[in-house]
Amino acid sequence: MKIRLLIGVFVFLVSASWLAAQEGNQGYLLGGPSEALEPAARVTATPKTRLGQPRPAVTTEVKKAPAAAPAAAPVVTEVPTSAEIEAAKAKAIAETAMEISRKAETTANEANKTSVESKSVSEQAISAANESIQKANESIDKVNKNIDRVNEVNKNLVTEIARLKFDLEQKDKALEESITLQNEQYAALKTEIESMKIKTPETYRVKKGDFLIKIANKDEIYGKGSEWKLIYRANREKIRNPNLIYPGQELVIPKK
């Protein structure tokens, strides 16, 4: 629109210049008798005289100028004036400007058509872009929901792991306490066994109702009936039959 407005102003100025040149060229070359001015009257005066002398008379001479020759007839030439040349140039420029204006208008119409088509294509592209953005937003929403679910699962896992860790620590603590207690009990039992070994008598006198298993099972002997064979082996010269022992027999009790 700005280009068309500038071209219109330019055409208007050129046309106005051409019309002004045409109007200035419509006059005629006029000629006429020149008016000759008559020369001023010649005045002569006598010089001044001395005192007592007579003053001469003053004479005035007036001469007329000769009559002027009659004026020549006006001559009209066929040579184009500079105004006509400028007018022709202005006309040619105006026609060129009009042609340029028409071409510019055609170009502007084509550009307008192209602009409309481009606008339509742009609107379609914008619509497609909006659809893509909407789909992308939907995908992002789905991903965010999945992330929320994963975070919830992770949170539950962290809670469960913390609970299991606490339970394991408690069990480890209880196990350590149990092991410590068992070690203490083992140490006490070992000490007791050692003390029992020290207190084990070297001999034992058989009493009524005794037999080897009963003797081995006594706390002061071995505390286990299965150890009767030790007594039997140590006293084979005295005991021919392990099932037959007699009161009053003195048996050797070997240390383990």
User: Which residues, including other chains, have CB under 8 Å from residue 201's CB and lie 6 or more apart?
Assistant: 220, 221, 253
The burial class, CB within 10 Å (0-12 / 13-18 / 19+), for 253 is buried
**Can you read off the two tokens belonging to residue 167?**
């339970």
Is 117 in contact with 54 (CB distance < 8 Å)?
Answer: no
Is 248 in contact with 206 (CB distance < 8 Å)?
Answer: yes
Domain 200-256 classification at class level: alpha beta
**Can you read off the two tokens belonging to residue 122?**
């742009």
What type of residue is 137? N
Domains of the chain by residue range: 200-256
Whole-angstrom distance, CA of residue 176 vs CA of residue 169: 10
pLDDT in tens, 81-97: 888 888 888 889 989 98
Is 6 in contact with 44 (CB distance < 8 Å)?
Answer: no
- Flag residues of the chain having pLDDT under 70: 1-6, 14, 16-78, 195-201
**Can you read off the two tokens belonging to residue 2?**
């700005």
What type of residue is 253? I
pLDDT in tens, 135-157: 999 999 999 999 999 999 999 99
Per DSSP bridges, beta strands 250-252 and 203-205 are antiparallel
Q: Is 204 helix (H, G, I), strand (E, B) or coil?
A: strand
pLDDT of residue 229: 92
